[in-house]
Structure 1
Amino acid sequence: MSQKIDATDVTEEEALNAVFFERADEFIKQANDFCRPPKGKKTDPAELRGQVSAAMLFGTARFNTWVAANTFQTAEEMREAKQQVTSYVLQQFQMMLEDNYDEYCEQFENYLRFRKNEDFHAHKHDKKDGHKH
């Protein structure tokens, strides 16, 4: 039996957290879509994931730089705050990375249970003349 949640029961912080995770989920969904090989193309899944990861890192760096730039009046003011801004962003990234890394270690079998199927499907057409490679 599910319980209906009254909107008045949700705090502003909870609502902001929900929006935060919805946005994050949309970015992850987009990245997952980019990780699907184009139809008819044989692509190494690990290589494709690495390319998507690098693009996301670049996009995140570019976007965070733009967000920071919008808080300054001049380029000089921005230059002077570089260490403070980059330290903050790197600290936030490190905390998020460590939290997610720890979670994946705890849930490794759960989160990667489909990996064997992916490897099988990625390499099932590699056989020629009945020999395994």
Structure 2
Amino acid sequence: MSQKINATDVTEEDALNAVFFERADKFIQQANEFCRPVAGQTQTSAKPHEIRGQVSAAMLFATARFNTWVAANNFTDGDEMRAAKEQVMSYILQQFQLMLEDNYDEYCEQFENYLRFRRNEEFHSNKDHDHSHNH
């Protein structure tokens, strides 16, 4: 049985956290879409782990680019921004490290649940297919 939550029970912090995770989930969904094989790709195309690596690199670049833009909006000119570089870098790297550590630990704990799809993926990507049978 689910408990009904009244709007008055939701704090501003709860609402902000919900928006935060909704946004993060949308970025992850988009990344997952980029990881899906394109219909009609041949067996010589990039393997799933290669595609995930490419998507990961693109996300890291996009995150770096966006965070640099966000930081730039806090300064009046390039000299002021340059002077704050160490402080900005330290903050962003610290936040990323904390988030990465939390997620890494969670994946270690939930490894079998989170990566159960691999069995099916490995079967289909490593199997020599006889196209005369049905899947």
Scaled by the length of structure 2, the TM-score of the pair is: 0.91
1:16 aligns with 2:19: no
Give, in whole Å, the separation in 1 of the partners of 2:50 and 2:9: 45
Give, in whole Å, the separation in 1 of the partners of 2:118 and 2:15: 34
Alpha-carbon deviation of 1:114?
Answer: 1.3
Match of residue 109, structure 1, among 105, 109, 112: 112
Which residue is equivalent to 1:59?
Answer: 62
Which residue is equivalent to 2:133?
Answer: none
SS across alignment from 2:92: helix
Alpha-carbon deviation of 1:126?
Answer: 5.8
Aligned length: 127
Give, in whole Å, the separation in 1 of the partners of 2:27 and 2:127: 30
RMSD over equivalenced CA pairs, Å? 1.1
Which residue is equivalent to 1:130?
Answer: none
Identity across matched positions, percent: 76
Q: Which runs of 5+ in 2 are unaligned?
A: 131-135
Give, in whole Å, the separation in 1 of the partners of 2:71 and 2:128: 48
Structure showing greater relative contact order (alpha-carbon pairs closer than 8 Å, 6 or more residues apart): 1
Scaled by the length of structure 1, the TM-score of the pair is: 0.92
Give, in whole Å, the separation in 1 of the partners of 2:29 and 2:76: 35
Residue deviations 1:50-93 (CA, integer Å, cap 9, x gap): 00000000000000000000000011000000000000000000
